Structure 1
Amino acid sequence: MSIWWSLHLRRDAASVPLARRLLLGTMETAGVDPEISYDLSVALTEACANAVEHGGCGGVAEAYRVTAYLDGECCRIEVADSGPGFPAAGCLVASRPVPAEAEHGRGLRLIQALADHVHIGADPGRAGTVVSFDKTLRWRQGRPLLAV
């Protein structure tokens, strides 16, 4: 079984639950184990929240893109924005400690904890950041769609 979808969303906080609900609905319909679905939905929420908060240059109508692929035994999710990006994105998460009293700065670490593989980088030929992550899927018994 292979399912994929892509959304182009306004950089607005109201767009985040839409992406999360679509992912959860897709995974429920496919028969993915609810624990895996939950982990990926939290990771997606964090990536979308980062795109909404940091992913633009100030324009109200700016958008970001969410793409999800369920292919065989793996789910891969990409969130791409058009913001300024950040230097040395791959080392940023591992190298900077977050103070306990900080209100921000844990999202990328949370994504790393919930996914099997995480890549943070640039979209070739575009400004912005792409956060992509994947996780091996587990299936619930009696799932409606069988992996092929």
Structure 2
Amino acid sequence: MSIWWSVHLRREAASVPLARRLLLGTMETAGVDPDISFDLSVALTEACANAVEHGGGAGDLPDGAEAYHVTAYLDGDRCRIEVADSGPGFPAATVARRRPALAEHGRGLHLIAELADHVRFRNRPGRGAVVSFDKMLKWRDDSLLGAV
């Protein structure tokens, strides 16, 4: 069994905890181990905060507001999360290294890389940046998905 969801959020700071709660609620309901859920929720928070801060572009909501997109997949023993924005993209060095250097800026990206098993930073020319990361899941004994 698998679960996935996708949401378009306004590029506002108030949207970040909403994305985090959505993910935590999904993982709690599915029966994911709380430590894994916490790691993924922190990584998601950092990716969303990055999209809010740097992901500006042409308005992509009906009222002209800017948005970013979060998609989460829980499939088998893996969770994959993608956060896409419409900003200028990542510096070429970040995309090339796959793990950002620890510098004045970019510490959130470094944290994502440390919390996830695999991470990818990529640019979509003219359409923004995408952070995608995944992690192997551990399940509680009473989980809905882990037992199947």
Fold match by TM threshold 0.5 = yes
Q: 1:72 aligns with which of 76, 91, 95?
A: 76
Partner of 2:89, secondary structure, is coil
- Deviation per CA, 1:70-92: give whole Å up to 9, x if none: 00000000000000112323236
- Find the counterpart in structure 1 of residue 23 from structure 2: 23
Alpha-carbon spacing, 1:2–1:138, altered in 2? closer, same or farther (3 Å): same
- Find the counterpart in structure 2 of residue 107 from structure 1: 108
Q: CA contact under 8 A between 1:84 and 1:128: conserved in structure 2?
A: yes
Q: CA contact under 8 A between 1:78 and 1:132: conserved in structure 2?
A: yes
- Find the counterpart in structure 1 of residue 32 from structure 2: 32
Q: CA deviation at 1:127?
A: 1.3
C-alpha distance in 2, partners of 1:97/1:144?
38
Unmatched tracts of structure 1, length 5 or more? none
C-alpha distance in 2, partners of 1:90/1:147?
37
C-alpha distance in 1, partners of 2:2/2:101?
37
Q: CA deviation at 1:141?
A: 1.2
Partner of 1:40, secondary structure, is helix
Q: 1:91 aligns with which of 93, 96, 107?
A: 96
Q: CA contact under 8 A between 2:46 and 2:112: conserved in structure 1?
A: yes
C-alpha distance in 1, partners of 2:142/2:128?
41
- Find the counterpart in structure 1 of residue 51 from structure 2: 51
* 1:2 and 2:2 matched: yes
Alpha-carbon spacing, 1:126–1:7, altered in 2? closer, same or farther (3 Å): farther
Q: CA deviation at 1:36?
A: 0.2
Partner of 1:129, secondary structure, is strand
- Deviation per CA, 1:124-146: give whole Å up to 9, x if none: x7510000000000001122344
Alpha-carbon spacing, 1:82–1:140, altered in 2? closer, same or farther (3 Å): same
* 1:120 and 2:124 matched: no
Q: How many equivalent residue pairs? A: 143
**What amino acid sits opposite 1:87 in the alignment?**
P
C-alpha distance in 1, partners of 2:21/2:100?
32
**What amino acid sits opposite 1:90 in the alignment?**
V
Partner of 2:128, secondary structure, is coil
Q: CA contact under 8 A between 2:56 and 2:86: conserved in structure 1?
A: yes
* 1:136 and 2:136 matched: yes
